[in-house]
Amino acid sequence: MGSANGDRELFKDKDDFVAQYREACETFFAKKYDELSQQERFCVLAGLIANKSRNLKVDSHKDDKEVYYFSLEFLLGPLLDNYLLNFGIRAIVKAGCAELGTTLEDLVAQEVDPGLGNGGLGRLAACFLDSMAALGINGNGNGMRYRYGLFRQEIEGGRQVEKMDNWLEHGFPWETRKSEAAVLVQFGGHVVRHEEGGRFWFTQEGGDLIKAVPYDVPIVGYGAKTVNNLRLWSAEPAAEDFDLDAFNAGNYAKAVKFRSDAEAISQILYPNDSGEHGRLLRLKQEYLFVSAGLQTILRSFENKYGPDKWADFGKHVSIHTNDTHPAMCGPELMRILVDDKRVDFDLAFKIAHETISYTNHTVMPEALEKWPIGIFRELLPRTYMFIEEIDRRYREGFPHDVEGWQEKLANTAILWDGQVRMANLSVIFSHSVNGVSALHTGILEAQTLHDFYALEPEKFNNKTNGISHRRFLGNANPSYSRLICDVIGEGWLRDANELAQLGRYEDDPSFLEEFEKAKAWDKRRLADYIRRTSGVELDCAMVFDVQVKRFHAYKRQLLNVFKILDVYNRILSDPSFDPRPTAFIFSGKAAQSYSFAKEVIRLINSVAEAVNGDARVNDKIRVAFVPNFAVSSAQLIYPAAEISEQISWAGSEASGTSNMKLMMNGAITLGTYDGANVEICDLVGEENIKIFGLRTEEVDALRAGGTYWAWDLYNRDRERLGRVIDELTDGTLAHLSGNFESIRDELMVNNDHDLVLADFYTYVSAWEELVGAYGDRRGWNRAAVHNTARSGYFSSDRTIREYAADIWHIES
Ligand code: 26Y
């Protein structure tokens, strides 16, 4: 792929690149290129590109308005290859590396994968940064610089074992510490009321002062016309004081305790299902990055527009909150405006409301954040007062003339039952609330946030998620990308809708053959990776059936395992059963404390051991668990997939984004009518996707009816479903590390909350039909290419354009 950036080229040509690269080696390490390790060579290359990025002047933003995307997670993934693509210098650098005697791929593989996010929500934030920069939007990220990212996952005896993720070990060449831009954030203490000449005001006294220090990462847009900024905050002690007495008494730990207490705030990323344990630290994280981010934004606004223009703030600034984690933006913005800028209370609320918008990413009641009032008020006494006052006014102004108003008020008030309900806080302080797929937004409006919706329907809107097609097709799938560029040019990298031109090749036999070759190359690459990382040997002639995502009961990796066990059993017991040979590939992490999800991982590895070692079946089915799912390994997996498993129970997955990444890479979706699967289905047509299972209304009816009994399903068919359930505990799978009583209990004692048994038969049949169609290679490839051709809609560029137009009110 050629140059995307016209006159903003970093290197004139290959020779210029090689010369600059050699020189940079001398400046960075005082060594010659040949004397450096591959890791050092990567560092120099990344440093060279990062430096040039930082020094690039922003060409122009389309609109003056600044967007700040507040997110506790930015799951960036490796950046080098993405920068090269966006600068349009991938070809030059690749050729230059070859001349220097190494491959670009090998250098790219040296880069750490910063795991500053859990999964979908964090990766979405990173895709949005890419798209805002590509579209020339003045859009910046505001987040946390965790010293340790999400744990590294290893598998021992089939079990997930969590290891520290020391991602900063070799430094992070893309960041710059901005000590001079540090701000102070106050925790605890008490509020003092002052009065003078009939005017009164409040201050917060005492408590702990923490210094928030920003680290900036330049975000270069495609074509390199726009360079935005991702600002990640690190917590440090406010003053270098030191307990000298303790030190002199030999108590070194006590002497430096102030430092470790402060630093603890940005030490670790919280997993997405963390319970009560260690929650205070999480609250501190939420406040730290909100307060530090807002202070900075207000400071720069004041510098730009002067000290008395606060009423215009919302015209120039948009603050978007990624789920409820930054929900304190509302009250904190009010606090700074009222206490520090002397803005009147009502105006301050108006400004906050005009500026802030909120995206919801889940409807699961147990996942909605709540904080005990006592803890909240003690940690953030002044910010809490704004919540209390807004809540009081909300109650006071609540319409008493609607039927059942007491209950509606109870559902929507911020403070209730001794808790601060963060979703309600977010809704009340925002001018826009959006869900992340059509189905999800519908559920928010009809159920989760219905009482809000009834009051202010115009506040609600849908913004179906998207993904960076440049990273997840352009970077991740070089073989297919090249093929696409050969026939439709490279305009699709800028405008993903151009992928629709592939429609012309859906019936072109030679194109379909080339597609199959590209897929074969991707499968080989993944099979090599799987052999190295999990020791499992895959036959590339098999169908690659992929389920990769966080482990969660609602996502139903267990249903997939049940299907594999059923297929296994039937191959053994029914000689006429001869399914298409398939490799089942799983990857994903379970939160440390989520024991059910961890047991499912152990089950997969136990099934893998049984199946892969059984000569009676292992030319028909193989199972692989790829350890340590991360952006980098995902980029190897998506391109190689042929079946995309999206099998959450209907109404549970807000959107899903791996479904989009996989369809874009030409995998066929096997999925429920859930999240964005619905939109995929609409786009590709029912012949090019396999939908199965209960629909949301049926799930609701089943639950409401109270007539669902897992035991009935078990007893009805002891040959197939009953047998699979028995195998959890009868020793069949116990060889690796024991039986699976707790999984059996979840199904049979807890009555199968996630409806694994309810969807079992339709799922297995759908899978059989789907792999049955694989034999028609032409037809399969046609459907695969059709999926890619229709995937342009799922570019996050489209999503961001919609946010810009409907929520942030800016031109893009
Ligand atoms: C409260 C806390 C510890 C927490 C941290 C992270 C709670 C939740 C999360 C992460 C949630 C998440 O990743 N949600 C996913 O967001 C994606 C992007 O919108 C959706 O595609 C996906 O369906 C949803 O599960």
> Is 73 part of any domain?
no
Amino acid identity at 381: P
For ligand 1, say whether the CB of 109 is within 6 Å of any of its atoms. Answer: no
Final residue belonging to a domain, choices 65, 90, 109: 109
For residues 430 and 538, state if they share a domain.
Answer: no
> Is 743 part of any domain?
no
Structure-block tokens of residue 458: 């115009």
Structure-block tokens of residue 766: 């759908």
For residues 453 and 479, state if they share a domain.
Answer: no
| Overall average pLDDT of the 226-239 stretch | 95
Structure-block tokens of residue 60: 């122009």
Q: What distance in Å separates the CA atoms of residue 570 and residue 327, rounded to the nearest whole number?
A: 52
The vertex-793 CA angle with 790 and 796, nearest 5°, equals 135
Q: What distance in Å separates the CA atoms of residue 491 and residue 612, rounded to the nearest whole number?
A: 44
Amino acid identity at 671: G
> Is 11 part of any domain?
no
For ligand 1, say whether the CB of 653 is within 6 Å of any of its atoms. Answer: yes
Check if the beta carbon of residue 754 is closer than 8 Å to that of residue 600.
no
Instruction: Note the pLDDT of residue 299.
Output: 97
Instruction: Note the pLDDT of residue 6.
Output: 45
Q: Is 593's pLDDT higher than 60?
A: yes
- Taking the centre of ligand 1 as the mean of its atom positions, its distance from the CA of residue 643, in whole angstroms, is 24
Q: What distance in Å separates the CA atoms of residue 422 and residue 411, rounded to the nearest whole number?
A: 12
For ligand 1, say whether the CB of 369 is within 6 Å of any of its atoms. Answer: yes
Q: Is 365's pLDDT higher than 90?
A: no
Percent of the chain scoring above 70 in pLDDT: 98
Distance of CA 209 to the CA centre of its chain: 31
Q: Which of 41, 523, 550, 720 is catalytic?
A: 550
For ligand 1, say whether the CB of 361 is within 6 Å of any of its atoms. Answer: yes
- Taking the centre of ligand 1 as the mean of its atom positions, its distance from the CA of residue 761, in whole angstroms, is 29
Instruction: Note the pLDDT of residue 258.
Output: 81
- Taking the centre of ligand 1 as the mean of its atom positions, its distance from the CA of residue 745, in whole angstroms, is 27
> Is 24 part of any domain?
yes
> Is 740 part of any domain?
no
Instruction: Note the pLDDT of residue 37.
Output: 95
For residues 461 and 477, state if they share a domain.
Answer: no
For residues 640 and 498, state if they share a domain.
Answer: yes
Residue 4: pLDDT band with limits 50, 70, 90: very low
Q: Which of 552, 661, 723, 790 is catalytic?
A: 661
Q: For residue range 725-751, list pLDDT tens digits in order.
A: 999 999 999 999 999 999 999 999 999
- Cα dist from 760 to 51, 669, 767, whole Å: 54, 17, 11
Q: What distance in Å separates the CA atoms of residue 557 and residue 754, rounded to the nearest whole number?
A: 11
Residue partners of 520: CB distance under 8 A and separation at least 6: 540
> Is 812 part of any domain?
no
Q: Is 65 among the catalytic positions?
A: no
Q: Is 284 among the catalytic positions?
A: no
Question: Residue 738: phi, psi to the nearest 5?
Answer: 105, 175
Closest-CA residue, ligand 1 atom 21, reads 656
Q: What distance in Å separates the CA atoms of residue 716 and residue 191, rounded to the nearest whole number?
A: 66
Q: Is 341 among the catalytic positions?
A: no
Residue 274: pLDDT band with limits 50, 70, 90: low
Residue among 75, 323, 652 to mutate when testing ligand 1 (max atoms within 8 A of CB): 323
Q: Which is higher by pLDDT, 703 or 9?
A: 703
Which helix (DSSP H) or strand (DSSP E) does residue 410 occupy?
Answer: helix 405-412
Instruction: Note the pLDDT of residue 775.
Output: 97
Q: Which of 555, 598, 782, 786 is catalytic?
A: 555
CATH number of the CATH domain containing 576: 3.40.50.2000
| Overall average pLDDT of the 310-334 stretch | 98
| Overall average pLDDT of the 596-615 stretch | 98
> Is 7 part of any domain?
no
- Evaluate if pTM is beyond 0.85: yes
For residues 170 and 315, state if they share a domain.
Answer: yes
Q: Which atom of ligand 1 is nearest to the CA of 654?
A: 23
- Cα dist from 425 to 149, 328, 389, whole Å: 28, 8, 12
Closest-CA residue, ligand 1 atom 3, reads 272
For residues 585 and 642, state if they share a domain.
Answer: yes
Q: What distance in Å separates the CA atoms of residue 359 and residue 803, rounded to the nearest whole number?
A: 10
Residue among 70, 362, 652, 659 to mutate when testing ligand 1 (max atoms within 8 A of CB): 362
Instruction: Note the pLDDT of residue 276.
Output: 53
For residues 536 and 659, state if they share a domain.
Answer: yes
Q: For residue range 276-294, list pLDDT tens digits in order.
A: 555 899 999 999 999 999 9
Q: Is 353 among the catalytic positions?
A: no
For residues 312 and 206, state if they share a domain.
Answer: yes
Q: For residue range 402-454, list pLDDT tens digits in order.
A: 999 999 999 999 999 999 999 999 999 999 999 999 999 999 999 999 999 99
For ligand 1, say whether the CB of 272 is within 6 Å of any of its atoms. Answer: yes
Closest-CA residue, ligand 1 atom 2, reads 272
Of 195-209, 412-426, 597-611, minimum mean pLDDT range: 195-209
For residues 508 and 405, state if they share a domain.
Answer: no
Beta strand segments in 480-637, E: 543-548, 582-587, 621-626
Residue 3: pLDDT band with limits 50, 70, 90: very low
For residues 406 and 261, state if they share a domain.
Answer: yes
Q: For residue range 764-782, list pLDDT tens digits in order.
A: 999 999 999 999 999 999 9
Q: How many residues does the chain have?
A: 812
Q: For residue range 528-581, list pLDDT tens digits in order.
A: 999 999 999 999 999 999 999 999 999 999 999 999 999 999 999 999 999 999
Distance of CA 461 to the CA centre of its chain: 21
For residues 139 and 86, state if they share a domain.
Answer: no
> Is 401 part of any domain?
yes
Looking at every residue in the chain, the average pLDDT score rounds to 95
Instruction: Note the pLDDT of residue 249.
Output: 81
Instruction: Note the pLDDT of residue 811.
Output: 80
Closest-CA residue, ligand 1 atom 22, reads 656
The count of other CB atoms within 10 Å of the CB of residue 501 is: 16
Percent of the chain scoring above 90 in pLDDT: 92
For residues 692 and 576, state if they share a domain.
Answer: yes
Name the domain count of the chain: 3
Residue 250: pLDDT band with limits 50, 70, 90: confident
Structural domain for 601, as ranges: 469-706+717-722+756-794
Q: Is 5's pLDDT higher than 50?
A: no
Q: For residue range 46-57, list pLDDT tens digits in order.
A: 999 999 888 886
